[in-house]
Amino acid sequence: MTDILFAIAISLAKTLGLIFLIVLPMVSYTVYAERRVSAMIQDRIGPNRVGPLGLLQPIADAVKLLLKEDFTPAHVNKFYYWLAPACAMAPSMMALAVIPFGSQIWGQPMVVANVDIGVLWVFAVSSLGVYGIVLAGWSSNSKYPFLGGIRSSSQMLSYELSLGLSVVPIFLLCGTLNLPKIVDYQI
């Protein structure tokens, strides 16, 4: 049993290390580059106040985000108002468990949960994100945000059909729903 736990811990450490050490800095500096390019296009200065050439701007943005004031409108249902973003975010985090971040390192797959129905898991869990959107609209106690939540959820549901049909050729070609095996099939 300890070998299984060790393999899970190694896989989780690799995945989290990849996310926090590579993906998040790349995303923050991509936003920085986009702000610099749009400033150049619009003939203005852009982010240049924090650090040399503004290179510490992503860190300043993160600090600003963490220190912002939380504001809850008075007329909302407070419990559901704060629960809705978690209900919308949780399915995307659950879907990350089966998505491989590479093929293999030292014989260990770069995936948190190596299940045989990985693609089906991603589709099933991503369809749960609809509930967070509807809950966000409903918790505002106003008809217009509720209608917007219903509209957004119906769009999300209608896009699932075309997304599911676009993945069917991959199933037929690879012969499996296991995402690491699909990645290995590409190599």
Between the alpha carbon of residue 81 and those of residues 12, 73, 179, the distances in Å are 31, 9, 35
Confidence class of residue 22 from pLDDT cuts 50, 70 and 90?
Answer: confident
Task: Write the single-letter amino acid at 128.
Answer: L
Q: 106-164 pLDDT, tens per residue? A: 777 777 778 888 888 999 998 898 999 999 999 988 899 899 999 999 998 888 889 98
pTM comes to 0.65
Q: What per-residue confidence (pLDDT) applies to 72? A: 78
- Residue 46 phi, psi dihedral angles, 5° rounding: 85, -170
Q: What per-residue confidence (pLDDT) applies to 150? A: 92
**93 vs 144 pLDDT, higher one:** 144
- Residue 101 phi, psi dihedral angles, 5° rounding: -100, 20
In 3D space, the residue among 104, 133, 122 whose CA is nearest the CA of residue 160 turns out to be 122
Q: Classify 107 in phi/psi space as left (phi over 0), alpha (psi -120 to 50) or beta.
A: left
**What is the pLDDT of the chain when averaged over all its residues?**
85
Across residues 39-46, what is the average pLDDT? 82
- Residue 104 phi, psi dihedral angles, 5° rounding: -150, 145
User: How is the chain split into domains, by residue range?
Assistant: 1-68, 71-187
